[in-house]
Amino acid sequence: MKPLATVKTQPEPVAADLFAKCRQYTTARDVMAMGIYPYFRVISSAPGTVVTVDGQELLMIGSNNYLGLTNHPKVVEAAVEAARRYGSGCTGSRFLNGTLDLHVQLEERLARFMKRPAALVFSTGFQTNLGTISCLVGRSDTIFADRSNHASIVDGCRLAFGRTVKYAHNDMADLARVLETAGNGGGRLIVVDGVFSMEGDIVNLPEIVRLARLHGARVMVDDAHSIGVLGAHGAGTAEHFGLIDDTDITMGTFSKSFASLGGFIAGEEDVLHYIKHSSRELIFSASMPPASVAACLAALDIIENEPERRARLWEITHRMHREFKALGFDIGVTETPIIPILIGEDIQAFQFWRELTERGIFANPIVSPAVPKGQALIRTSYTATHTDAQLDFVLDTFAKVGKKLGVIA
């Protein structure tokens, strides 16, 4: 036996510092140092068509307040009255002590509005996709997802135990290809945005429904940017195409046309009953606070009874499509109130944003990795309450900035 003094021992491995990546991250600070950092801006006013940022009034074309209901007196008063009656929160999940009569009333109203047997309300829109997709898709199942789907769909697919197969954006030939080659084991779910939040285009739902029938798949449509906007009554993409009964699950959010916070799904009662008792995101999250639910109910009243708001939104949309193109801007394939102004490189988009801000416009620069490199854009979106004078100002300002920075001739 060797003496203990001569025994060689391996040095203990040194653990990597978990926070090293945080200290090495300099991208945002580099942009801050250049004076063109556009994120986490502090707004000190109500979210209307004009907002106050650092004491400056800016014309807002960077929100999703499509019907202009965030300041509607009926919506605000409904939220205030609910807070007075029910308090500020529910202190628990829907599953246990957090279901109010307001939640049930909203679900019943949404089911009728969406022309579906049932609806189920979640606390946020992001959570709605996580909780629905991960709950339904098991180990032997397959998801077919558009490559431009929202991050909440992407993360819902990651949480699901099944396999995810992606297809090229709104490319029905590519969807047909992956459906044919993915194998036939287990259930199949095609999940897709109704209106894509960056591009502004509408999903080819008729062809998706046809392919789903052909290949035995179910269809789930994320209508976050469609509810209140598309369809004869504002019920979204399926109503727009006359395919309500052919769309298995429709998801919607309350943070856009409904001027509140939360999300929902609408579909078959048995499917929603299963999700209601199986979705971790629903069961283990505090439920929507009373004020938010009441605001949704008031917004739904307005959506149903004031179709002129939606008509005005589309009047604005068609005008801005036409006039941006006439100025020489590339607005891509948009068909909706989401109008991207394609710029090019990330830094150029930040510079464009700064020029807009200095001239009194609040818009959002979208850069990689949210869009492919070299395809940075300014995302604009419009509200039914924008005036013609405000739209004139937007177009005049974009023309000046576009020419100054060489985006248009």
pLDDT average, residue stretch 7-25: 85
Where does the pLDDT of residue 183 fall: very low under 50, low under 70, confident under 90, or very high at 90 and above?
A: confident
Q: How far apart are CA 332 and CA 313, in angstroms?
A: 20
Q: Is the pLDDT of residue 3 over 70?
A: no
Q: Is the pLDDT of residue 12 over 90?
A: no
Q: What is the pLDDT of residue 141?
A: 97
What are the pLDDT digits (tens) for 225-268?
Answer: 999 999 999 999 999 999 999 999 999 999 999 999 999 999 99
pLDDT average, residue stretch 220-224: 98
pLDDT average, residue stretch 374-398: 98
Q: Is the pLDDT of residue 397 over 70?
A: yes
Q: Is the pLDDT of residue 2 over 70?
A: no
| Amino acid type, 30 | D
Q: Is the pLDDT of residue 10 over 80?
A: no
Cβ–Cβ contacts within 10 Å for residue 192, how many?
A: 25
Q: Is the pLDDT of residue 9 over 70?
A: no
Give the chain's radius of gyration (CA, Å): 24
Alpha-helix runs per DSSP H in 121-243: 125-136, 151-159, 172-181, 205-215, 237-241
List active site positions.
Answer: 197, 225, 256
Q: CB neighbours of 271 closer than 8 A, spacing ≥ 6?
A: 136, 248, 249
Least confident of 86-95, 178-187, 396-405: 178-187
| Amino acid type, 55 | G
Q: How far apart are CA 340 and CA 380, in angstroms?
A: 6
Q: How far apart are CA 157 and CA 142, in angstroms?
A: 10
What are the pLDDT digits (tens) for 88-114?
Answer: 999 999 999 999 999 999 999 999 999
Tell me, yes or no, if the pTM score tops 0.85: yes
Q: What is the pLDDT of residue 370?
A: 86
Question: In terms of Cα–Cα distance, which of 83, 156, 133, 130 is closest to 284?
Answer: 130
Least confident of 26-35, 70-79, 217-226, 353-362: 26-35
Phi, psi of 17 (to 5 degrees): -75, 115
What does the block give as tokens for 393?
Answer: 């100002």
Domains and CATH numbers, the chain: 29-60+307-404 (3.90.1150.10), 73-305 (3.40.640.10)
If you write DSSP's letter for every residue of 286-302 in order, what string do you get?
A: BPPPHHHHHHHHHHHHH
pLDDT average, residue stretch 306-311: 98
Query: How confident is the prediction for the chain on average, in pLDDT?
Result: 96
pLDDT average, residue stretch 292-317: 98
Question: In terms of Cα–Cα distance, which of 399, 344, 387, 401 is closest to 368?
Answer: 344
Cβ–Cβ contacts within 10 Å for residue 14, how many?
A: 6
Q: Is the pLDDT of residue 184 over 80?
A: no
Q: What is the pLDDT of residue 5?
A: 55
CA atoms within 13 A on the CB side of 317: 21
Q: Is the pLDDT of residue 396 over 90?
A: yes
pLDDT average, residue stretch 208-235: 98
